[in-house]
C-alpha cells in the first residue's frame, strides 16, 4: 500500500498541473507514458526509465507553473530513491529533506531571473565546486591512509 | 571516487536539459536539470561520508605461517579485516601480498554487503620470489553504492605487518675447500651409486631429504647428505625442462612435452626397472627422483609437471667451455689482424673481456646439482625434453656436463616449437640425436 503513495501522488499532482496548463494534453500524454513505463518496464533499468519519463512530465508541468513542477520534482526524486532501495531509515529521510530544501531554493531564484544564462552558470559553478570538494576530500583520505610503513 | 553508469546517465540528462534551457531560454527544462544536479551532489556527499566511515573503521590483523623463509618457498597467510559498512553499499576487500609474491592458492579478495560491523577472513597461499625484509602491500578497499564507487589502498597504521625475512636462494655455489680451514668434507663425483655410503657432503637445494644424515647434521649444525656407492648400470636420466609460468603459461607444447616424457619414463621403468627423473625450469631444479623403482611415484611426478616460476635466470650466460672457445677464437683473430689496426684493438679488448669473465666466473648451483644428479644416478644416457626456445643456457650447461662424462645426450623437441634452423643448431651441439615429438 505504501509503495503506491509516491507514484499516485505524482500522478495526481501532474493531473492538477495539467488542469491549470494551456498544454494540458501534452502533460496528460507524457503522464500516460510514465504510467505505461511504470506498468511495463521491470528489471535493472526500471528506476532510471521512470526517472526519465517522470522528468518529461515535470518539464511539461513547469509550463503551467514553477511551484507545482518543484513539488512533482521532489516526489519524483523520492520515488526514484525508494525504487533504488534508499529512504528506508530516518537518517536518510533527514538527508533527503536537506535535498528538498535545496531544490525548493530554486523557486525564488527562478522567479527573480528573467533569462536562463545566470542560473545555468550558477548550476555549473555548483557542480564544479562540488566536484573539486569531493575530489579533494578523496585525495586527502588517500594521502592520510596510504602512507606505507614499509622498511 | 568514480561515477557509476547510473550517475553518468543522470549527468548526461542534466547536461542535455541545461543546454536546452540555455538555448531556448526555457525555465521548464532548467528546473529538473538543477534538481538532478543537486541530487548528484547530495549522493556524492553521502558516498564520501560512507567511504570515510569504512576507511576509519577498518582494522587488519594478518598472520603468516612462517616469518623467516627461503626465496621461492610458500607461506600461508590469513588476514582478518574488521570494518563497519554503511547501508546500501558494497565493500570489496583485497589483501595485497608483498611485491613480487605470486598467489599459489586461495583468494585475495572478499566482498561484503551486510551493513553494520563485520569482519572477513582472507586466506591464501603465496610464493615469495623477492629477498630481504619484505612487507605486505596493505589492504585494497573498493566501496560502491548505486551512484558512486571508489578504490583506496590502505597501507599505514600497521596494515603492512608482519614483515617477512626472506633468505636468497643462491645462484652460485661456493667452491669446495676454497675458504678457510674446517671445510674438510670433500665432494667427489662418483661414477657409481648404490646402497653403501661412501661419503657425506653439505645439503644443496634439490637433494632428496631422505638422504639427510641427521646425526652428522646435528653435530655440525648444518645439513649433510649421504652419498651412496654401488650399483652399476646404464640407466637413462630423463630431464624435463618446464617453461616459466609468469612469462608463458605454456600451451600445447607443454602438454606434448609432459606426455612424451611420461611415455619415456614408463618405457624406461619397464626396461631398466628403475629410472631417474630431473625436472628443471631454466636454471632451477624443481624435482629430482633418483633411481626410482615405484612406477606410481614416477607417474605422480610426471603428472605434477607444469610451468613454474623461476628464481634463477642465466640471461644467456655462457659456460666456461664456451667462454674459453670464444676467447681462443678472438685471440686467433687478433694474431691475424694487422698491427695497430682497429680490428686488432677490438679483438684485444674483447679477449680481455672474455679473460676477465672467465676468471671471475664461478660454478653455478645448477651446474653442481646437475653434475651430482648425473653422478649419483650413474646415467649412461641423458634425454632432455624441452621447448628449446628463449634462453637455453641451462640446456647447454647440461649438454656440456653430459659430454664431459661421456654420456649420450638425446634431445626431444615439441613439434610446435621445432624449426629447421633450430634442429640444425641443436644437431651441431654434438648431441647423439634430436627428435621432434
pLDDT digits (tens, 9 = 90+) for B288-313: 988 888 888 888 888 888 888 888 88
Neighbours of B255 (CB within 10 A): 12
Q: Does B126 touch chain A (CB under 8 A)?
A: no
pLDDT band for position B188 (cuts 50, 70, 90): very low
Query: B152: which chain A residues are within 8 Å (Cβ-Cβ)?
Result: 138, 141-142, 145-146
Q: Is the CB of B27 less than 8 angstroms away from the CB of A62?
A: yes
- Residue B182 pLDDT level (bands cut at 50, 70, 90): very low
Cα A72–chain centre separation: 9
pLDDT band at B190 (very low <50, low <70, confident <90, very high): very low
**Segment B199-203 mean pLDDT:** 76
**CB–CB contact B87 A92 (8 Å):** yes
CB neighbour class for B291 (10 Å; exposed up to 12, middle 13-18, buried from 19): buried
Is A149's CB within 8 Å of B158's CB?
yes
**Residue B185, pLDDT above cutoff 70:** no
ipTM score of complex: 0.87
What 3-state DSSP class applies to A86?
Answer: coil
For domain B59-167, give its CATH number from 3.90.1150.10, 3.50.50.60, 3.40.50.10420, 2.60.40.2270. 2.60.40.2270
Q: Tell me how far the alpha carbon of residue B311 is from its chain's centroid.
A: 5
pLDDT in tens, A92-117: 888 888 888 888 887 777 777 778 78
Per-residue confidence (pLDDT) for residue B137, from 0 to 100: 85
Ordered by start, the domain boundaries in chain B are 2-55, 59-167, 235-314+364-436, 319-361
> What percent of chain B stands above pLDDT 90?
6
| Cross-strand bridge partners of residue B408 | B381
Helix (H) or strand (E) holding B167: strand B164-167
Beta carbons of B160 and A148 less than 8 Å apart: yes
Interface of A with B in 14-43 (CB under 8 A): none
What is the reported pLDDT for A132? Answer: 93
CA pair distance A52, B13, nearest whole angstrom: 8
Chain A positions touching B44 (Cβ under 8 A) are 130, 134
Mean pLDDT value across residues B72-97 = 88
More confident residue, B90 or A103: B90
DSSP B159: T
What are the start-end ranges of the E strands in A3-116? none
Alpha-carbon distance B128 to B143, whole Å? 29
Give one word for B59, left, alpha or beta, with left for phi > 0 and alpha for psi -120 to 50.
beta
H or E stretch at A131: helix A117-145
A117 contact B CB<8A: yes
**Does residue B69 or residue B111 have the better pLDDT?**
B111
Cross-chain residue pair A58–B31, CB shorter than 8 Å:
yes
Q: pLDDT for B32-51, tens place per residue?
A: 888 889 889 989 998 999 99
Burial class from Cβ neighbours inside 10 Å (0-12, 13-18, 19+) for residue B279 reads: buried
d(CA B82, CA B58): 6
Assign B349 a pLDDT band (cuts: 50, 70, 90).
very high
B313-334 pLDDT, tens per residue?
Answer: 888 887 777 788 888 899 898 8
In our burial notation (b when 16+ CB lie closer than 10 A, e otherwise), range B67-101 reads: eebebbebbebebebebebbebbebbbbbbbbeeb
Q: How far apart are CA B249 and CA B261, in angstroms?
A: 19
Q: What is the pLDDT of residue B385?
A: 92
B59-167 against B235-314+364-436: fold identical = no
- A143 to chain B, any CB pair closer than 8 A? The answer is no
**pLDDT for the residue B249:** 59
Sign of the C-alpha dihedral computed for residues B218, B224, B229 and B232 taken in this order: positive
SS3 (DSSP) at B430: coil
Q: For B398-437, what is each residue's pLDDT tens digit?
A: 888 888 777 888 898 888 888 888 888 888 777 888 888 8
Span B381-395, average pLDDT: 88
pLDDT tens-place string over residues B122-135: 889 888 877 788 88
Q: What is the pLDDT of residues B235-247, one digit of tens each?
A: 788 999 988 877 6
C-alpha cell belonging to residue B417: 616449437
pLDDT at A151: 39
- pLDDT (mean) for B154-160: 79
Give mean pLDDT, residues B174-199.
48
Determine the angle formed by the axes of helices B295-303 and B252-272, rounding to 10 degrees: 170
* Distance, CA of B171 to chain centre: 14
- Indicate whether B184 pLDDT > 80: no
Average pLDDT (B86-103) is 86
Q: Are B92 and B77 in contact (CB under 8 A)?
A: no
- Taking 70 as the pLDDT cut, the residues of chain A under it are 1-2, 147-151
**CATH, domain B235-314+364-436, list 3.40.50.410, 3.90.79.10, 3.30.450.20, 1.10.287.3610:** 3.40.50.410
Helix (H, G, I), strand (E, B) or coil at B48: helix
Q: Do B138 and A148 touch (CB under 8 A)?
A: yes
Residues 64-103 of A with CB under 8 A from B: 66, 69-70, 73-74, 77, 84-86, 88-89, 92, 95-96, 98-99, 102-103
Cβ–Cβ contacts within 10 Å for residue B119, how many?
A: 12
d(CA B241, CA B395): 9
pLDDT score recorded for residue A133: 93
Comparing C-alpha atoms, which of A58, A38, A35 is closest to residue A48?
A38
Q: What are phi and psi of B91, to 5 degrees?
A: -115, 125
Per-residue model confidence as pLDDT tens digits over B203-261? 776 677 888 889 888 988 888 888 665 444 567 889 999 888 776 656 778 888 888 88
Give the cell for residue A106: 530554486
Per DSSP, chain A holds a count of helices (H) and strands (E) of 7, 0
Which one of B25, B27, B153 has the shortest CB-CB distance to A110?
B27
Helices (H), B361-430: 365-377, 393-404, 420-427
Cβ of A99 within 8 Å of Cβ of B39? The answer is yes
Q: How many CB atoms within 10 Å of residue B359?
A: 8
Nearest one of B225, B224, B231 to B191, comparing CA atoms: B231
- Is A106 within 8 Å of B31 when comparing Cβ atoms? yes
Residue B286 CB contacts under 8 Å (≥ 6 apart), including other chains: B242, B279, B280, B308
Indicate the SS3 state at residue A84. coil
- B159: Cβ contacts below 8 Å, ≥ 6 apart: A149, B60, B136, B138, B139
Residue B112 confidence class, pLDDT cut points 50, 70, 90? confident
Amino acid at each position: 500500500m505504501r509503495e503506491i503513495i509516491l507514484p499516485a501522488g505524482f500522478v495526481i499532482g501532474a493531473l492538477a498541473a495539467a488542469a491549470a496548463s494551456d498544454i494540458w494534453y501534452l502533460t496528460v500524454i507524457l503522464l500516460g507514458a510514465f504510467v505505461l513505463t511504470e506498468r511495463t518496464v521491470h528489471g535493472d533499468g526500471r528506476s532510471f526509465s521512470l526517472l526519465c519519463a517522470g522528468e518529461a512530465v515535470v518539464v511539461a508541468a513547469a509550463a503551467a507553473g514553477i511551484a507545482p513542477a518543484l513539488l512533482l520534482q521532489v516526489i519524483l526524486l523520492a520515488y526514484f530513491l525508494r525504487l533504488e532501495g534508499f529512504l528506508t531509515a530516518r537518517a536518510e529521510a533527514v538527508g533527503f529533506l536537506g535535498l528538498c530544501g535545496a531544490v525548493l531554493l530554486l523557486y525564488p531564484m527562478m522567479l527573480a531571473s528573467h533569462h536562463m544564462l545566470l542560473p545555468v552558470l550558477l548550476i555549473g559553478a555548483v557542480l564544479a565546486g562540488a566536484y573539486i570538494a569531493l575530489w579533494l576530500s578523496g585525495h586527502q583520505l588517500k594521502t592520510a591512509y596510504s602512507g606505507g610503513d614499509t622498511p | 571516487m568514480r561515477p557509476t553508469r547510473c550517475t553518468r546517465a543522470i549527468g548526461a540528462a542534466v547536461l542535455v536539459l541545461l543546454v536546452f534551457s540555455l538555448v531556448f531560454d526555457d525555465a521548464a527544462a532548467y528546473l529538473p536539470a538543477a534538481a538532478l544536479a543537486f541530487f548528484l551532489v547530495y549522493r556524492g556527499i553521502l558516498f564520501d561520508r560512507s567511504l570515510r566511515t569504512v576507511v576509519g573503521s577498518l582494522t587488519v590483523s594478518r598472520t603468516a605461517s612462517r616469518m623467516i623463509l627461503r626465496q621461492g618457498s610458500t607461506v600461508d597467510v590469513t588476514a582478518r579485516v574488521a570494518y563497519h559498512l554503511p547501508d546500501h553499499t558494497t565493500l570489496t576487500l583485497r589483501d595485497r601480498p608483498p611485491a613480487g609474491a605470486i598467489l599459489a592458492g586461495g583468494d585475495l579478495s572478499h566482498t561484503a554487503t551486510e551493513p553494520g560491523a563485520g569482519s572477513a577472513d582472507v586466506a591464501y597461499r603465496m610464493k615469495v620470489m623477492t629477498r630481504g625484509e619484505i612487507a605486505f602491500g596493505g589492504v585494497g578497499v573498493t566501496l560502491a553504492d548505486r551512484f558512486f564507487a571508489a578504490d583506496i589502498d590502505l597501507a599505514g597504521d600497521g596494515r603492512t605487518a608482519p614483515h617477512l625475512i626472506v633468505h636468497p636462494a643462491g645462484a652460485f655455489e661456493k667452491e669446495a675447500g676454497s675458504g678457510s680451514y674446517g671445510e674438510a668434507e670433500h665432494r667427489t663425483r662418483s661414477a657409481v651409486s648404490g646402497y653403501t655410503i661412501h661419503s657425506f657432503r653439505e645439503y644443496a637445494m634439490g637433494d632428496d631429504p631422505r638422504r639427510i644424515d641427521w646425526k652428522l647434521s646435528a653435530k655440525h649444525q648444518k645439513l649433510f647428505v649421504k652419498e651412496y656407492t654401488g650399483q652399476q648400470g646404464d640407466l637413462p636420466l630423463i630431464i624435463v625442462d618446464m617453461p616459466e609460468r609468469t612469462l608463458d603459461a605454456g600451451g600445447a607444447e607443454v602438454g606434448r612435452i609432459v606426455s612424451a616424457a611420461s611415455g619415456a619414463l614408463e618405457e624406461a621403468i619397464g626396461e631398466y626397472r628403475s629410472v631417474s627423473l630431473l625436472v628443471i625450469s631454466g636454471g632451477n631444479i624443481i624435482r629430482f627422483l633418483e633411481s626410482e623403482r615405484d612406477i606410481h611415484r614416477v607417474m605422480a611426478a610426471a603428472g605434477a609437471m607444469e610451468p613454474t616460476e623461476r628464481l634463477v635466470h642465466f640471461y644467456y650466460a655462457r659456460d666456461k667451455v664456451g667462454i674459453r672457445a670464444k676467447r681462443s677464437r678472438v685471440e686467433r683473430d687478433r694474431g691475424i689482424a694487422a698491427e695497430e689496426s682497429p680490428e686488432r684493438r677490438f679483438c684485444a679488448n674483447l679477449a680481455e673481456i672474455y679473460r676477465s669473465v672467465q676468471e671471475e666466473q664461478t660454478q653455478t648451483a645448477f651446474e653442481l646439482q646437475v653434475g651430482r644428479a648425473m653422478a649419483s644416478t650413474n646415467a649412461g644416457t641423458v634425454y632432455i625434453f624441452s621447448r628449446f626456445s628463449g634462453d637455453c643456457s641451462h640446456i647447454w650447461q647440461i649438454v656440456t656436463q653430459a659430454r664431459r662424462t661421456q654420456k649420450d645426450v638425446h634431445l626431444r623437441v615439441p613439434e610446435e616449437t621445432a624449426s629447421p634452423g633450430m634442429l640444425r643448431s641443436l644437431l651441431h651441439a654434438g648431441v647423439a640425436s634430436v627428435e621432434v615429438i
